[in-house]
């Protein structure tokens, strides 16, 4: 079953240095969807635990299975428009509408 449009929860504002979690969920897809977050239309990289992620100064953890995007400490650089895409290899992937987070 192809995924439906996911429901994204993006806070409209966040305080610098706080922990912020964005979530994305869709329930119709079978097999269960995997989620990809985008910021300003650019796909966010997944932290793999190698040095490259640290070099890229990644301050978040993206979980493709649960659809969460977790910032341990948000910075002003994290301000932007976020949306996520659900895909499970069946039918078209589905995106939620972009929401702006102001830090």
For 12-34, how does the pLDDT look when each residue is reduced to its tens digit (9 = 90+)?
Answer: 999 999 999 999 999 999 999 99
CATH number of 7-101, picked from 3.30.70.100, 3.30.310.80, 2.60.40.10, 3.40.50.300: 2.60.40.10
The pLDDT, as a whole number, for residue 43 is 95
Question: For residue 103, how far is the Cα from the chain centroid?
Answer: 16
Cβ(29)–Cβ(2) under 8 Å?
yes
How confident is residue 58, by pLDDT bands cut at 50, 70 and 90? confident
Question: Tens digit of pLDDT for each residue in 34-57?
Answer: 999 999 999 998 765 555 555 566
The pLDDT, as a whole number, for residue 46 is 74
pLDDT above 70 as % of the chain: 89
The pLDDT, as a whole number, for residue 55 is 52
């Amino acid at each position: 079953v192809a995924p439906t449009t996911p429901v994204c929860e993006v806070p409209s504002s966040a305080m610098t240095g706080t922990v912020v979690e964005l979530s994305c969920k869709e329930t119709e897809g079978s097999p269960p969807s995997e989620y990809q977050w985008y910021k300003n239309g650019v796909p966010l990289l997944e932290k793999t635990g190698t040095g490259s992620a640290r070099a890229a100064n990644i301050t978040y953890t993206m979980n493709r299975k649960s659809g969460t995007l977790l910032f341990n400490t948000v910075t002003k650089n994290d301000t932007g428009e976020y949306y996520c895409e659900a895909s499970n290899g069946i039918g078209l992937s589905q995106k939620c509408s972009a929401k702006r987070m102001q830090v």
